[in-house]
Structure 1
Amino acid sequence: MVTAPAKSRVLVVEDEESLLFTLAHSLKREGYTVITANRGDDGLKVAREQHPDLILLDVMLPGLDGIQVCRLLRRDSDVPIIMLTALGGEGDRVAGLDTGADDYMPKPFGMRELMARVRALLRRSGPRAAPDTGPSLLVSGDIQVDRERHEVTYRGAILRLKPKEFELLLFFLQHPGRVFSREQILDEVWGYDFFGGPRTVDVHIRWLRQKIEADPANPTRLKTVRGSGYLFEG
């Protein structure tokens, strides 16, 4: 059994009583502190009040469904979220990932695999250490990134970024003019053992464009290279 750090707290939002019990029991055996809710609105309230380290979120919930909860949480939180659902279609997976979920587990799922994904997301959810080499201050036009202070300035004002948005922007500023595939970006920014798919990159690119592009629908900096991936031009 792998023991989780004592600080790791997992919120489980699931309305199926037997599955909620099983999930809570399995997480506690792994060493996590577990918080539970069986309604979407209650889960949202608990998440905002208690700030868990990770959320297991069912899609089909009373009150608010999981998609709504995820969308509302992503307005002000970068907490890792794994969606759990009996809906296995591609459209359902895309909907969950588009609202900001980090991973997606269709029911029924194996508990060992779920626990592995929980561990991987918790390892990768915090800011990764920036490389020791290279300048501490990177500038591209009206964007300035201070690696040491973990701060971004855009057009003279402090820009509020989520941890992965900061890492993504830093990565592109360190490699201007180079095209990277989604898989390469996942490896470099999220880590090789991250379970989420390429849609995670697309979602974070979209969020970042909304903050550093004058017209996010027609980006001039963070560009899509059809069939290849993304590149950053200063």
Structure 2
Amino acid sequence: WVLPYGAAAGVSFVVQPGNAALYVDAGATTQPYELSGSLPSVRLVDAAGNTIMGFVGFFRAATGSAGTTGIVLGEADAYSFWATNGAATLRGLYFSLNAGIDANGTAYISMGSSCCSLLASSAQDSSAGIDLTGAPTQLELTLNPTIVFAAGEDFTLTARVLPALANGAPVASYTEIVTCALIESSVVVSYMSGPLQVAAYKGVATFSPLAISTPGTYTIKCTAPRTG
């Protein structure tokens, strides 16, 4: 038998959107955030939460009002998604960062429907918060215990991968290999021993223990993919 469903009452998220990472294009006036994880999806429901299987129409996406200022939805078929059996998957949806706005923040997707005046804000459903993380573009280095130590003494170098507009927090999704090396030395022959290539964990690479063979003044440089 077929279970009946009631009149359409609202829109409901089935799969919440994942977080989003920013990929910087130096020549662009806006910057795209790409959603991670499974594609978000929504459905049209009655007052009891049943899916309106016979719905033929579209869902309309918009940027939620509670999000960080300057974050807007990117183009995905003018933000409209056609329903199949009362549901739709939000394919091709992304966020844009207006130039000059901080690269980190929180966004929301607000969904309405063309059915029964459900584009009105009172009938819309807002997604869970989407963490927006800036692209990895720079490294911050820290020496421990101090910048002055004896030849052969173990020391630790920490490299933090930071976003384009740093807010003090490393890019937690960054896991690529970070490399450190001596690039300038006041002595003719010297070398640095220890782990010189380390995979970042949550945006941080720790090189320990390191040691430099000969007394002198040195410059250490770290490099990592997708950073300046």
- Band of TM-score, shorter chain: under 0.3
Larger C-alpha radius of gyration, 1 or 2?
2
Does 1 or 2 have the higher relative contact order (CA < 8 Å, sep 6+)?
2
TM-score by length of 1: 0.25
Could you state the TM-score of these two structures normalised by the residue count of structure 2?
0.26
